[in-house]
Chain A
Amino acid sequence: DTGVSQDPRHKITKRGQNVTFRCDPISEHNRLYWYRQTLGQGPEFLTYFQNEAQLEKSRLLSDRFSAERPKGSFSTLEIQRTEQGDSAMYLCASSLVGTSRHEQFFGPGTRLTVL
Chain B
Amino acid sequence: AQKVTQAQTEISVVEKEDVTLDCVYETRDTTYYLFWYKQPPSGELVFLIRRNSFDEQNEISGRYSWNFQKSTSSFNFTITASQVVDSAVYFCALAGTGNQFYFGTGTSLTVIP
- Whether A44 contacts B103 by the Cβ 8 Å rule is yes
Q: Taking chain B's interface residues, is the majority helix, strand, or loop, or is none over half, making it mixed?
A: strand
Q: Give complex CA distance A55, B100 in Å.
A: 11
Q: What total of chain B residues lie within 8 Å of the partner, measured CB to CB?
A: 23
Spot the interface stretch: A16-24, A65-73, A100-108: A100-108
In the complex, the chain A residue whose C-beta lies closest to that of B42 is: A108
- Whether B105 contacts A102 by the Cβ 8 Å rule is no
- Whether A109 contacts B33 by the Cβ 8 Å rule is no
Give 1 or 0 for each of B76-108: 1 = CB within 8 Å of chain A CB. 000000000000000101010011111111100
Which listed residue, A42, A100, A109, touches B106 by the CB 8 Å rule?
A42
A40: B residues at CB distance < 8 A: 105-106
Least Cβ distance of B75 to chain A in Å?
A: 14
A74: B residues at CB distance < 8 A: none
Task: Show the binding face of B for A, using Cβ within 8 Å.
Answer: 4, 33, 35, 37, 42-47, 50, 91, 93, 95, 98-106
Task: Show the binding face of A for B, using Cβ within 8 Å.
Answer: 31, 33, 35, 40-45, 48, 55-56, 58, 89, 91, 93, 100-109, 111
